[in-house]
Amino acid sequence: MIPTPPPSPKPFASCNPEDRLGQVIGYEYRLTGVLGIGAYGTVYKASHVETGVEYAIKALNRFGLDPRQRTFQDREIRLHWDASHHANVVSMERIVDTLDCTYVVLEYCPEGDLFSKITEDCDYVGRDHKAKAVFLQILDAVQHCHSNGIYHRDLKPENILVKNDGWTVKLADFGLANEDRITSDFGCGSTFYMSPECQQSNPKPFACYASEANDVWSLGVILVNLVCGRNPWKRAALEDSTFRAYMRDRNFLQSILSISSGLNGILQRIFEVDPQRRIRLDELRQLIRKCQKFGQEAESASLPPTPPYSPVDSPLAFYGHGLEPIPNIDPLPVQQYPVYAAPSHFATQPSFAPADLPTPPASTTGSPRHGPYTHQAKPAMPAFQGPFAGSATFIPSFPWPRCSNFVPNLASQMCWRNVMVS
């Protein structure tokens, strides 16, 4: 098992990214513009010198990396290559190694990512047919990865690119992917999309969880994003008031989100806290195809404001005991999102609101692990902020800082034994 990715290296300052513009990579691809800058390198727009076809090229710095960082960089390239031969995974065309850089030639998706399509263009909320078509494509991509022993571990709309006016989606960014069915790599991914079992801050010795079930949970949050334009909660943990309310009443999401009874039943199967009872991808596909309607009629949707983020006084709250009534308060202020930009890695980013709120200014792409074509970095999905009257705010998702909560439980065989016994 390869453990958590190491901290990002310091930017390699001896080469200005724009200095490479005009260069021809691998005798075929001319760099024509800068799409994004991150800690590990730069993403360029390029065109084929003969055909004129456009590509995105990741220029990954080789200097300044220690052996562990290079191992993770190589793993990301290898796993993306292994998964890329699928219609709904961003195609990796070629890899060109030079002394200072590894150039990864990728399919170019000029329309950006799914996050922007949901929040800026409002492309899927209220359009069940389109939301279903897109979600089934995401399921296909993830199932393809799992069938090849690859677990993405950072599924979110920022890591899904779109084409054809939002009707075609492509899975991208394999920086946190692994090949371990059972892992002890806790806190890996983005908080809004992590499963409860992935978020243990103080795991017991030999604790572990299943990578496949963790990806399924993330897909459930993405499904809510598509249908409702928000996240169901900020974090699937007892500290989150909305998640506690869901644990107390499994129909709670239907009371705060505009979702049909059929979709509510599907979400209950996805958001099963016991990962061994969580729905599998093949059954999920069947249920999605059979679901006739995702959203409720407008008049039946009544949403209360997000409950405050408060600590849990007792573990009994997990089972619905000792919960105080959720106060009727105004929505929490929208959080700000860190943007990847050089030289400062944490410039602030304007946040997003749903369609029925004033449209925020155009935002750039960002997350401490940005996608292959992001211009700087992109905010994540607006979270569902708990029960409230009126419309919830859709705020950026904060990824945990590159799996910093990893606890090196080194006995993978013991992990397997625990899973099999339980």
Altogether, the residues listed in the chain come to a count of 422
Tell me the one-letter amino acid at 93: E
Cβ contact 119:382 at 8 Å = yes
Q: Which two tokens stand for residue 44?
A: 């360029």
Cβ contact 328:305 at 8 Å = yes
Tell me the one-letter amino acid at 146: H
**What's the rounded Cα separation, in Å, for the pair 417 and 422?**
8
User: Which residues form the catalytic set?
Assistant: 154
Residue 130, marked binder = no
Based on C-alpha coordinates, what's the Rg of the chain? 21
Query: With helix as H, strand as E and coil as C, how does the chain read?
Result: CCCCCCCCCCCCCCCCHHHHCCCEECCCEEEEEEEEEECCEEEEEEEECCCCCEEEEEEEECCCCCHHHHHHHHHHHHHHHHHCCCCCECCEEEEEECCCEEEEEEECCCCCEHHHHHHCCCCCCCCHHHHHHHHHHHHHHHHHHHHCCCECCCCCHHHEEEECCCCEEEECCCCCCECCCEECCCCCCEHHHCCHHHHCCCCCCCCCEEHHHHHHHHHHHHHHHHHHCCCCCCCCCCCCHHHHHHHHCCCHHHHHCCECHHHHHHHHHHCCCCCCCCCCHHHHHHHHHHCCCCECCHHHCCCCCCCCCCCCCCHHHHHCCCCCCCCCCCCCCCCCEEECCCCCCCEEECCCCCCCCCCCCCCCCCCCCCCCCCCCCCCCCCCCCCCCCCCCCCCCCCECCCCCCCCCCCCHHHHHHHHHHC
Output the known binding site for ATP.
58
